[in-house]
Amino acid sequence: MRLHPLTALTAAGCAAVITTAAGSWPLSLAVALAAALLAVRAGAGMRVLAAAGVILAPLCLSLLVLHGLFFPEGHTVLAQWGPARVTAEGLGFALELASRTAASVLVLLLFSFTVSVPDLLAALASRRIPPQFSFVLASTLTLVPAMAGRLERIRHAQEARGLVVRRGLLTRLAAARLQAVPLVLGLIEDAGVRAQALEARGFGGPGPRTSYRQLEDPPRQRIFRAAALLLAAAAVVLRLVTAWPAAVPA
């Protein structure tokens, strides 16, 4: 049975919210692995993993540096180089944050690479969602899958102009910065072009809208969306309730 676009969107968003609220690295790793397996099954495994690698590599490296080496609450010192201390508590905290971020990124990338954007826009229009929100969501979903290919073309162009990436962390970070700047600027330019094209076609105009795409929304999927939203809300409330005593000074 084919998933309704809103069902896929709800599943991805609720999975990210629940994983973040739980704060458990085994659950985060399980969700990330499940998202990767579903991406492979859907035929988008390489694209999802490539885009996830581009996003997660600098984030995980920064988490390792910040919390793995400079964690003030760490007591179990594994290694030390001057002010930098590798502590078990810092590595555990970095692992928890990295796994949580990886799970959220993978489930959202899985949704963006597998959803049909025209079907999603039709589903949002049938729910009377503001067109501005639909435009932002559609632009994001169409730009994200192109990031991996665009980054590969930027790397090839820079290497043709004489960029040499040598071994070493600093050299690789400098090369990543040189590739990230044109990538972000290109994505912003593409978003502006798409906005002008849609605005010229009356996408942001007021008034009733007619959709020529009819989507089937089975009752079971509507029940699943309601249950997933309630479960995500309960996970957030439980997280706030359990964190409240620790936040209040004795």
Same domain? For 96 and 182 the reply is: no
pLDDT at 224 over 70: yes
211 within domain boundaries:
no
For 51-109, write each residue's pLDDT tens digit.
Answer: 888 788 878 888 887 777 777 776 777 777 766 777 777 788 888 888 999 999 999 88
Average pLDDT, stretch 105-121? 86
Q: Sign of torsion, CA 74 80 81 83?
A: positive
Number of domains into which the chain is organized: 2
CA-to-CA dists, residue 125 to 37, 64, 198, 227, 248, angstroms:
31, 43, 15, 23, 44
Question: Do residue 81 and residue 138 come from a single domain?
Answer: no
Q: What is the pTM of this model?
A: 0.72
DSSP letter string over 116-178? -HHHHHHHHHHTT--HHHHHHHHHHHHHTHHHHHHHHHHHHHHHHTT----SSHHHHHHHHHH
Averaged over 39-52, what is the pLDDT?
86
Confidence at residue 106, expressed as pLDDT on a 0 to 100 scale: 93
Amino acid 191: pLDDT: 67
Q: Are 109 and 156 in a shared domain? A: no
pLDDT tens across 166-197, in order?
555 565 666 666 777 777 777 677 767 766 77
**One domain, residues 23 and 79:** yes
Q: Could you tell me the residue range of the domain that residue 142 belongs to?
A: 117-203
Look at residue 19 in the predicted model and tell me its pLDDT.
93
Q: Is 9 part of a structural domain of the chain?
A: yes
Judge if 65 and 146 occupy the same domain: no
CA distance 134 to 69: 42
Give residue for tokens 């489930």.
107
Last residue of a domain, one of 115, 146, 164: 115
